[in-house]
Structure 1
Amino acid sequence: MSRKGHTAEFKRTVLDAYENLGYSLSEIQRKYGVHNTTLVHWMKMVEKYGVEGLKGTSHNKTYTKEMKLVAISDYLSGNYSQRDVIEKHGISSTSVLRKWMKDYNGHREIKGQPEGMSRSMTKGRKTTWQKRIEIVQDALANHKDYHKTAVANQVSYQQVYQWVRKYEAGGWDALKDRRGRSKTEEELSPEEKMKLEIRRMEKENERLRAENAFLKKLEEIERGRS
């Protein structure tokens, strides 16, 4: 069966065979023609989006032009595989990314802005240092779901993506806006800093709990077969 023929029902069947019926990875590949990396990707999509994550085409409605260009840029950087890119940006399949790449390389216009998005979500908006910190914390807590974070905070996908990258490269200070503003305008009071630190720790704990639950699930499955 080709990857295009992998319906949500088929994916659930394969996941059930692996998680509940005791099939090994090699048995899954022989019987269903599904590679282990594909199976793990489906499991991650379920972990991130629930069973809706198995309905690949259902996420197309949320792909903005901005998000597509960021994903294309990531792949062209040579630092990420196709699988890495689709998991990083919540893209339904590598075939979707390949289509974007084909359009990009063919110099065709990259389209994709869904209806109902505010101008701030497509063009970006001004934010304070404190707000940028909170948005980055949200993005990290949501497993770097940049689109979800952008929608929740009414900012652009590109803004969330760049802020997370800046934070990872230089910490919270890297999120300060240096363009013509005095440092005092960006400073936080001790109380505000404490609140942000508590919020950061809460978000980090949420993220770690989710990751540990996912890893524990995988370990339990593997132990059951040993």
Structure 2
Amino acid sequence: MGRKAKFSKEIKIKAIKDYQEGNRTKKQIATILGCNVSSVNRWINSYKSMGEKAFDIKPTNKVYTKKLKLAAINNYLNGVGSLNNIIKKYKTHSISTLINWLMMYNDHKEIKDYKSKGDVYMAKSKKNNL
């Protein structure tokens, strides 16, 4: 089954345009749509970095290489940019992704490439004992 966003691409783009044109504040948009201001901020940041395609429904999670993760971490730790600037530069979809990488790095956990494991996606069948 595919993913379904709470708000359509069109609604998000209209909300962003209303904000950019000065018709509404982020808080007004959030109140009208019944969401948090942080959601509106996330939409705006995604739109700035990726344009309208940021809101296309994706069938899978985005995969990041170890090299990209370490580059983003090092850029942040060396003061190259803010969290927002770095997620735009590396085209990650959220600040929380970068924060998770930073926490792993600070906890001295190994930063790895993503490797899908078939068993993760394979549901075990239920036994029917009647």
State the TM-score bracket (shorter-chain normalisation). Answer: 0.5 to 0.7
- The alpha-carbon deviation at position 112 of structure 1 amounts to 1.5
Percent identity, aligned pairs only? Answer: 28
- The alpha-carbon deviation at position 44 of structure 1 amounts to 2.1
Given residue 42 of structure 1, which amino acid in structure 2 is its aligned partner? S
User: Is residue 42–residue 94 contact of structure 2 (8 Å, CA) maintained in 1?
Assistant: no
**3-state secondary structure, aligned to 2:62:** helix
Bigger radius of gyration, 1 or 2? 1
Counterpart position of 2:7? 10
- The alpha-carbon deviation at position 75 of structure 1 amounts to 0.7
How far apart, in 2, do the equivalents of 1:69 and 1:107 lie? 13
Counterpart position of 1:33? 36
Measured on the aligned residues, the alpha-carbon RMSD in Å equals: 3.2
CA deviations over 1:168-218 (Å, ceiling 9, x no partner): xxxxxxxxxxxxxxxxxxxxxxxxxxxxxxxxxxxxxxxxxxxxxxxxxxx
Given residue 25 of structure 2, which amino acid in structure 1 is its aligned partner? L
For structure 2, list consecutive stretches of 5 or more residues without a partner in the other structure: 117-130
How far apart, in 1, do the equivalents of 2:66 and 2:25 lie? 37
- The alpha-carbon deviation at position 77 of structure 1 amounts to 1.1
Work out the number of aligned pairs and report it.
105
How far apart, in 1, do the equivalents of 2:60 and 2:103 lie? 21
Taking a change above 3 Å as real, the CA distance of residues 57 and 66 of structure 1, as seen in their structure-2 partners, is: farther
Counterpart position of 2:78? 77
Counterpart position of 1:102? 103
Question: Greater RCO between the two (CA within 8 Å, min separation 6)?
Answer: 2
- The alpha-carbon deviation at position 45 of structure 1 amounts to 4.2
User: Is residue 50–residue 91 contact of structure 2 (8 Å, CA) maintained in 1?
Assistant: no
User: Is residue 56–residue 92 contact of structure 1 (8 Å, CA) maintained in 2?
Assistant: no
How far apart, in 2, do the equivalents of 1:57 and 1:110 lie? 25
Alignment of 1:47-86 (within 5 A): 47=51, 50-51=52-53, 53-54=54-55, 58=60, 60-61=62-63, 63-86=64-87
Task: Output the TM-score relative to the length of structure 1.
Answer: 0.39
User: Is residue 65–residue 112 contact of structure 2 (8 Å, CA) maintained in 1?
Assistant: yes
- The alpha-carbon deviation at position 98 of structure 1 amounts to 0.8
Alignment of 1:1-226 (within 5 A): 8-10=5-7, 12=9, 13-19=11-17, 24-26=24-26, 27-31=28-32, 32-35=35-38, 37-47=41-51, 50-51=52-53, 53-54=54-55, 58=60, 60-61=62-63, 63-112=64-113
Task: Output the TM-score relative to the length of structure 2.
Answer: 0.62
